[in-house]
Amino acid sequence: MNQPLWTSAEIEAATGGRASALFEATGITFDSREVEPGWLFVAMPGTVADGHDFVPGAFAAGASGALVSRPVDGPHVLVDDVPAALTALAVAARARMSGKVLGVTGSVGKTSTKEALAAALERRHRGQVHRSLKSYNNHTGVPLSLARMPRDSVYGVFEMGMNNPGEIRALTALVRPHVVLITAIAPAHIENLGSMEAIADAKAEIAEGLEPGGIAIIPNDTPYRDRLVEAARRRAERVVTFGSGDADVVAIHAVRANGGGSLVTARLTGSDLTYTIAQPGEHWVSNSLAVLAAVEAVGADVAAAGLALGDLGGLKGRGERHRVTVDGGEALLIDESYNANPASMAATLKNLAAEPVDGRRLAVLGTMLELGAHSDAEHAALAPHVLASKVDELILVGEATAPLEQVLTGELPVTRVPDAATATDVLLATLRPGDAVLVKASNGVGLAKLVERMAGAAAGKGFQP
């Protein structure tokens, strides 16, 4: 019989709390909508709502117990501070796990790379690889992801993000990785950090949590490579670079494969490997090199990892592709709605240029958030990438995209709208069979709603009002 994720006695011991009754938990969440029978519900305080208000609903959904700071009806562990108790569970989960732990951060592609890395390791270790779900990469998401890690996991893969200096330092101290991977440095969160150098330094904090003998995987194709390497060497026993040129892990050969991905021959530190990537784009070639470098660093099977990269499907909001029914045929919708910064915008626009189409190329681009004083310049700087992407029509969403509209006026048809709902209406009015549409913006713009409405048609539900 499988061991429970947590027993009430283990939760007591980890948190210093007091259990009202004996119970076992097979899972854990602080979102009452996620509760499954047998799970522990963590009643987190909040600025809008208090998790304690959702405890009855959690028990109704089958929760076996709750972690609370005031007594409730039903089995529970009473603690003084629920967030601190969740962090204590995270520490205990990490302490009891004897496998290898990998940490991932970066300005661009960290969630996609984390998913690809987990899939690569899972290929030879079915059911024994734990990863942080969704983009649970902040001060609450990382402790929850750690607390969810089964005690017999062979590998744990954790994503760490930040908005300010010092945040990754705190997260990596909890994760205590054996291998850390930085995907790329780009002007995401520059509003808070002020400079690209500060962003690089904040990402480099991930190496501070490395276990003795740890390895840091660093991007070679960035002006901040030496800065990252220097920071990593203060803690890492070994630094491995990936990318082009003199990188330790490099693509010797990469060509477009049938189906839109890439066929790559890579030189690793110990061998060469030829493999296929299902995802299109040069940035995915780079991501794959990072994944293989990390797989090799933990001594896992790189050949199996290569097979996994060939099977990896698109992630929701990060490249998932939908065939949308329109009058007379179908159109392709490329969902990149989850996040956006200047580097990821440029990469996905380049992919759109390479997309084989029977009709037109369209793009729905929304505001890139958290750029602060750099916002106007960074939005305007997308213009060459839009023109190079061979876009036939462009829909811009949000006031912050006005500088881009101004640069492109007269170059191609541009429509700027205030919100996702209006953008959907405009897109529906112009979409034709054979068209390919790229949808990309920062998550706060809400273009996921456009994708949901359009994808509803692909699922046979008709367009949703």
Extract the tokens encoding 368: 């890139």
**Which pLDDT belongs to residue 465?**
27
**CA–CA gap between residue 62 and residue 54 (Å, rounded):** 13
**CA–CA gap between residue 396 and residue 363 (Å, rounded):** 8
Question: What residues have CB less than 8 Å from 19, skipping those under 6 apart?
Answer: 8, 9, 11, 12, 65, 75, 76, 77, 78
Is it the case that residue 461 has pLDDT exceeding 60?
A: no
Question: What residues have CB less than 8 Å from 185, skipping those under 6 apart?
Answer: 106, 107, 196, 199, 200, 203, 219, 222, 224, 228
Give me the architecture of the 320-458 domain, per CATH: Alpha-Beta Complex (3.90)
Q: To the nearest whole number, what is the mean pLDDT of the chain?
A: 91
Is it the case that residue 135 has pLDDT exceeding 90?
A: no
CATH of domain 6-82: 3.40.1390.10
Confidence band of 459 (pLDDT split at 50, 70, 90) = very low
CA quadruple 429, 431, 437, 439: dihedral, nearest 10: 20
At 22-72, the pLDDT tens digits run 999 999 999 999 999 999 999 999 878 899 999 999 999 999 999 999 999
- Kindly list the distances between the CA atom of residue 223 and the CA atoms of 30, 102, 122, 201, in Å, as whole numbers in the listed order: 40, 25, 33, 13
Confidence band of 341 (pLDDT split at 50, 70, 90) = confident
More confident residue, 383 or 339: 383
Cβ atoms within 10 Å, residue 134: 12
Confidence band of 319 (pLDDT split at 50, 70, 90) = confident
Confidence band of 119 (pLDDT split at 50, 70, 90) = very high
Is it the case that residue 460 has pLDDT exceeding 60?
A: no
At 293-306, the pLDDT tens digits run 999 999 999 999 99
Confidence band of 370 (pLDDT split at 50, 70, 90) = confident
Tell me which amino acid residue 381 is: A
Q: Is 17 annotated as a binding residue?
A: no
Is it the case that residue 373 has pLDDT exceeding 60?
A: yes
Is it the case that residue 273 has pLDDT exceeding 50?
A: yes
> Strands, DSSP E only, in 69-150?
76-78, 100-105, 129-131
Is it the case that residue 247 has pLDDT exceeding 50?
A: yes
Extract the tokens encoding 185: 């440095």
Question: HSE-up of 396 (CA within 13 Å, CB side)?
Answer: 25
C-beta of residue 167 within 8 angstroms of C-beta of residue 213: no
Strand 6-7 with 24-25, pairing: antiparallel
Per-residue pLDDT averaged across 148-167, rounded?
A: 94
**Which pLDDT belongs to residue 315?**
67
Is it the case that residue 137 has pLDDT exceeding 90?
A: no
Which H/E stretch holds residue 352? Answer: helix 342-354
Q: Is 111 annotated as a binding residue?
A: yes
**Which pLDDT belongs to residue 458?**
43
Q: Is 106 annotated as a binding residue?
A: yes
Name residue 40's beta-bridge partners.
28, 65
Strand 27-29 with 24-25, pairing: unpaired
Three-class SS of residue 353? helix
**CA–CA gap between residue 116 and residue 112 (Å, rounded):** 6
Spatial CA neighbour of 394 closest among 421, 423, 432: 423
Residue where the block lists tokens 């007594």: 71
Q: Is 107 annotated as a binding residue?
A: yes
Domain ranges of the chain: 6-82, 97-311, 320-458
Helix and strand element counts for the chain (H, E): 17, 22
| Cβ contacts of 230-236, under 8 Å, gap ≥ 24 | 231/201, 231/204, 231/205, 231/207, 232/180, 232/204, 232/207, 234/207, 234/208, 235/207, 235/208, 235/209, 235/210, 236/180, 236/207, 236/210
**Which pLDDT belongs to residue 299?**
95
Question: What residues have CB less than 8 Å from 453, skipping those under 6 apart?
Answer: 424, 463, 464
Spatial CA neighbour of 360 closest among 425, 421, 430, 428: 430
Is it the case that residue 193 has pLDDT exceeding 80?
A: no
**Which pLDDT belongs to residue 1?**
46
- pTM recorded for the entire structure: 0.78
Percentage with pLDDT > 70 across the chain: 96
Is it the case that residue 191 has pLDDT exceeding 80?
A: no
Is it the case that residue 316 has pLDDT exceeding 80?
A: no
CATH of domain 97-311: 3.40.1190.10
